[in-house]
Amino acid sequence: KQEVTQIPAALSVPEGENLVLNCSFTDSAIYNLQWFRQDPGKGLTSLLLIQSSQREQTSGRLNASLDKSSGRSTLYIAASQPGDSATYLCADGNNNAGNMLTFGGGTRLMVKP
């Protein structure tokens, strides 16, 4: 059974820092990997999706990488802002269409002004 782990579970940084969130998965036969953001009491918003044939995706200050051989993905946030404070979840798509997602437990990020 696929397991997805996110470390650390919580992270507090001062505004302006560059930071890296980690995601590891046990089965490298994934279809895709997706990073989400969840604000308290809200649904999830997809930030980046990396197909299994890709190595990375970028959107603004966010960059996500995928290394299937080592079972790892990272989300890099540049020049963090207080508005980045949220929980970040990674999830891998592990069926033929990549739709069945297995989620990690999330990293709760606080960016202090």
Partner 1 sequence: NAGVTQTPKFQVLKTGQSMTLQCAQDMNHEYMSWYRQDPGMGLRLIHYSVGAGITDQGEVPNGYNVSRSTTEDFPLRLLSAAPSQTSVYFCASGPNGEKLFFGSGTQLSVL
The distance of closest approach from Cβ of residue 46 to partner 1 in the complex, given in angstroms and rounded to an integer, is 4
Question: Which of 43, 60, 83, 113 is the binder for partner 1 (CB under 8 A)?
Answer: 43
Give the interface segment with partner 1, choosing from 14-22, 26-34, 59-67, 73-81 (CB under 8 A).
26-34
Query: Residue 46 interacts with partner 1 (CB under 8 A)?
Result: yes
Using the rule CB under 8 A, which residue among 26, 78, 99, 110 binds partner 1? 99
Under the criterion CB under 8 A, does residue 33 sit at the interface with partner 1? no
Phi, psi of 86 (to 5 degrees): 180, 180
> Shortest approach of partner 1 to residue 97 CB, angstroms?
4
- Cα 73 from Cα 50, distance rounded (Å): 10
Question: Do residues 48 and 59 touch, judged by C-beta distance below 8 A?
Answer: yes
Question: DSSP state, 94?
Answer: -
Q: What is the C-alpha separation between 66 and 91, in angstroms, rounded?
A: 12
